[in-house]
């Protein structure tokens, strides 16, 4: 059974949105990605309304079976974290309103799941996301790539865990390779499905921009 995950990288100016389909064997394919942008000079309530509408449209358009949202954590810039928290709340509300299960993941957790390294930079995340999904170009902007990474991280999490295992640690009996490393190796061998063109710009609402 295919799991369709909607990843949300919350932000007030740019809210990343990414949708992936993942098969039981952890083979992932991209459905769409982009960002919901708002004008920094617009009233806060209008900006939040645009984000809420963009998320609602993404749900209606793609019918996800799960949602992954970046867990908000404390930052030195209080204004930035407040905007992130507000956008995150909108995503959680939309998920609850549509009966969609939600997973919250920290940035380091997502980086470790996708790249095998919890301190990977933006380019490393974009590169691995492109390899995992078999894309012909790096997903941009970084907010959209992060949303795809969130979706992949959520889909790759163990369905049932009998013991606490550090994020990014090699699964038992896997030949000491993480899911990200196995996906990378498959992509290098040409095993990952390739797309003739990135489908992110197809079936996209006006609110969702690449």
* Binding-site annotation: residue ranges for Mg(2+): 9, 70, 143
Does the annotation mark 39 as catalytic?
Answer: no
Helices of type H across the chain = 44-62, 78-97, 107-115, 122-133, 142-156, 179-188
Q: Torsions phi, psi of 103, nearest 5? A: -125, 135
From the candidates 21, 32, 109, 143, give the one annotated as an active-site residue: 143
Please report, for residues 16, 89, 98, the alpha-carbon distance to residue 39 in angstroms, rounded to integers and kept in the order given: 15, 19, 27
Per-residue three-class SS string for 84-107: HHHHHHHHHHHHHHCCCCEEEECH
- Map tokens 């992060």 to a residue: 146
Does the annotation mark 70 as catalytic?
Answer: yes
Q: Which residues are known binding-site members?
A: 9, 70, 143
Identify any residues that bridge with 36 across adjacent strands, giving them in sequence order. Answer: 15, 208
Q: CA 103, 14, 3, 202: dihedral to nearest 10 degrees?
A: 170
From the candidates 9, 21, 109, 146, give the one annotated as an active-site residue: 9
Task: Determine contact, residues 7/149, Cβ cutoff 8 Å.
Answer: yes
Does the annotation mark 57 as catalytic?
Answer: no
From the candidates 21, 32, 70, 109, give the one annotated as an active-site residue: 70
Residues assigned a catalytic role: 9, 70, 143
């Amino acid at each position: 059974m295919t799991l369709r995950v909607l990843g949300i990288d919350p932000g007030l100016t740019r809210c990343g949105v990414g949708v992936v389909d993942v098969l039981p064997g952890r083979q992932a394919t991209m459905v769409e990605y982009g960002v919901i942008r708002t004008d920094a000079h617009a009233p806060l309530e209008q900006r939040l309304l645009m984000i809420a509408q963009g998320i609602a449209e993404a749900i209606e358009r793609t019918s996800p079976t799960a949602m992954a949202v970046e867990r908000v954590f404390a930052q030195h810039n209080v204004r930035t974290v407040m905007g992130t928290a507000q956008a995150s709340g909108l995503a959680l509300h939309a998920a609850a309103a549509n009966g969609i299960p939600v997973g919250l993941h920290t940035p380091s957790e997502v980086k470790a799941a996708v790249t095998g390294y919890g301190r990977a930079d933006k380019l490393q995340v974009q590169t691995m996301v492109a390899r995992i999904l078999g894309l012909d170009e790096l997903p941009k902007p970084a907010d959209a790539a992060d949303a795809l990474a969130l979706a992949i991280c959520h889909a790759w999490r163990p369905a049932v865990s009998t013991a606490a295992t550090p994020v990014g640690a090699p699964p038992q009996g896997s030949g000491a390779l993480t899911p990200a490393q196995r996906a990378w190796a498959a992509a290098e061998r040409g095993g990952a499905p390739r797309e003739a063109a990135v489908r992110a710009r197809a079936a996209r609402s006006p609110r969702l921009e690449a």
